[in-house]
Amino acid sequence: MPLALYALTAGAFGIGVTEFVIMGLLLDVSRELNVTIAAAGLLISGYALGVTIGAPILTALSARFPRKHVLVGLMAIFVIGNAACALAPSYEWLMAARILTALAHGTFFGVGAVVATDLVSKDRQASAIAIMFTGLTVATVLGVPLGTWLGQSFGWRMTFWAVTAVGIIAMSIVAALVPRDRSKPEPSDWRADLRVIASGPVLLGLLTTVLGYAGVFAVFTYVAPLLTEITGFPDSAVSPILLVFGGGMMAGNLLGGRLADGHLARAIVVTLGALALVLGVTTLALHNGIAAVLFAGLLGAAGFATVAPLQMWVLSNAKGAGQSLASSFNIGAFNLGNAIGAWVGGLVIDHGPGLAYVPLIAAIFPLLAIAIALAAVRSGRPAVAAAV
């Protein structure tokens, strides 16, 4: 794989840290800015909203510029946004800075996925996307715990200064290693791009992403109470178990890329099926300590094995200049799935059968995603439908 691909990985790492590290700093932020924990939690929702809504808009506005310049510019927005977070004098300022930073998130992954596929041969494109997304998994495994420790030890603002420094390094690496575009950007026609997004296969692909990832985050959002209240682990055991989850994410991410390189449609169905199975069995595994740890790793692997196939699926159905916009829409779809999954998990806990049944209910989402994926295949290429 070319070195330029790992420059995209470095950018993905920085963006992943700034998205998730706030989860470990909510108490510190709420105390200093004198807001409730619930209000501090909205900083996560505001970020997700910025990704979902802002990414397609910013991608469309930047379509006429060379992709390398766009990526460097996005990392500059990332640096400015995190510096603004570190300097935030109020809750409202911090929320605005988080939303600004989120604009870089979706567009970077959307445009970066297109650049990644251009850097390699056609039979390695899904693996290239997986390697870029490895930065996100490493951020979850290493960056977030380190950022949380830094914030708890030296103040939450120090964490954002550290992420700002990571952004400067990543921006320099992207500027140095990512090659110039091989061809001049095509004239931007947002109406034509939207027609690409509105096509049946792309819309079904986006819906598949939303449903698949809703299943992952319905459980991941509540993983700490599941492990402590259902399995009976002490609070101190949650972080080490999350390392197992993160290790599974890294392995599953790369495996999903390899599977998609071999046969994309089959990889979609297999990875979503594996996710549904793991979620369903996790309901039983939570009642045994060893099984719970094992299935934490399997959930990470199954959840992230779907990422590269789902991203590649949307790219393969979007043609020409609409690819970058479709790719960014799919990043928004991942975040929309995160929000829906967390919301449904909360409903199950407060108004449904209870916390212990969250994984079982979550398994419904990837099953629905498989049904949508099969519908997308049948509406697309007959050869692919026959293979599935």
DSSP letter for each residue of 321-388: THHHHHHHHHHHHHHHHHHHHHHHHHHHHHHSS-GGGHHHHHTHHHHHHHHHHHHHHHTS-HHHHHH-
Give CA–CA dist 109/327, Å, rounded: 8
Tell me: do 134 and 233 sit in the same domain: no
90 and 156 inside one domain: yes
**Which of 140, 159, 187 finishes a domain?**
187
CA distances from 202 to 161, 194, 335, 355, 377 (A): 39, 11, 17, 35, 11
| Assigned token pair, 175 | 């500027």
Predicted TM-score (pTM) of the model is 0.74
Whether the Cβ atoms of residue 328 and residue 106 lie closer than 8 Å to each other: yes
For residues 183 and 216, state if they share a domain. Answer: no
Q: Which of 15, 2, 107, 23 is nearest to 327 (CA)?
A: 107
| Residue that finishes a domain, picked among 187, 220, 253 | 187
Pick from 323, 255, 335, 268: which is nearest to 116 by CA?
A: 323
**What token pair was written down for 32?**
């200093």
Query: Distance between CA 285 and CA 231 in Å, rounded?
Result: 9
Residue 378 shares a structural domain with residue 388: yes
Cβ 255 vs Cβ 248: under 8 Å = no
Residues with Cβ within 8 Å of 170's Cβ and at least 6 positions away in sequence, in order, are 7, 10, 11, 13, 14, 75, 78
Whether 104 and 15 have beta carbons less than 8 Å apart is answered as yes
* Domain shared by 170 and 236, yes or no: no
Q: Is the dihedral of CA 156, 226, 335, 251 positive or negative?
A: positive
Pair (131, 265) in one structural domain: no
Do 109 and 161 fall within a single domain? yes
How far is the C-alpha of 363 from the C-alpha of 112, rounded, in Å?
30
- List per-residue pLDDT tens for the chain, 388 residues long: 677 888 888 888 888 888 877 766 777 888 899 987 667 767 877 887 788 888 778 877 877 788 888 889 999 999 999 999 999 999 999 999 998 898 888 788 878 887 888 888 877 777 888 788 888 778 877 777 788 788 878 989 999 999 999 889 888 988 888 887 655 555 556 566 667 677 777 788 888 889 988 898 888 878 778 888 899 888 778 778 878 888 888 888 888 888 887 788 888 889 999 999 999 999 999 999 999 999 889 998 998 888 888 878 877 776 655 666 777 788 788 878 877 887 888 888 878 788 899 899 999 999 999 998 887 777 655 434 443 4
CATH number where 324 lies: 1.20.1250.20
pLDDT at 116: 84
Q: Show Cβ contacts of residue 299 under 8 Å, excluding neighbours closer than 6 positions.
A: 216, 219, 220, 245, 248, 278, 279, 282
Q: In three state form, how does the secondary structure of 147-176 look?
A: HHHHHHHHCHHHHHHHHHHHHHHHHHHHHH
Tell me which amino acid residue 253 is. N
Task: Domain count for the chain, please give it.
Answer: 2
Residue-number span of the structural domain to which 228 is assigned: 189-388
pLDDT of residue 4: 80
Domain co-membership, 8 together with 59: yes
**Cβ-proximal residues to 165 (8 Å cutoff; 6+ apart), any chain:** none
Based on the domain organization, do 51 and 199 belong to the same domain? Answer: no
For residues 101 and 84, give the distance between their C-alpha atoms in angstroms, rounded to a whole number: 9
Is 178 in the same domain as 308?
no
Closest CA to 124 of 9, 18, 260, 245: 260
* 346 in the same domain as 251: yes
- Greatest pairwise CA separation for the chain in angstroms: 59
Residues 233 and 339 in one domain: yes
End position of a domain, from candidates 138, 160, 187: 187
Alpha helices in 89-124 (DSSP H): 91-118
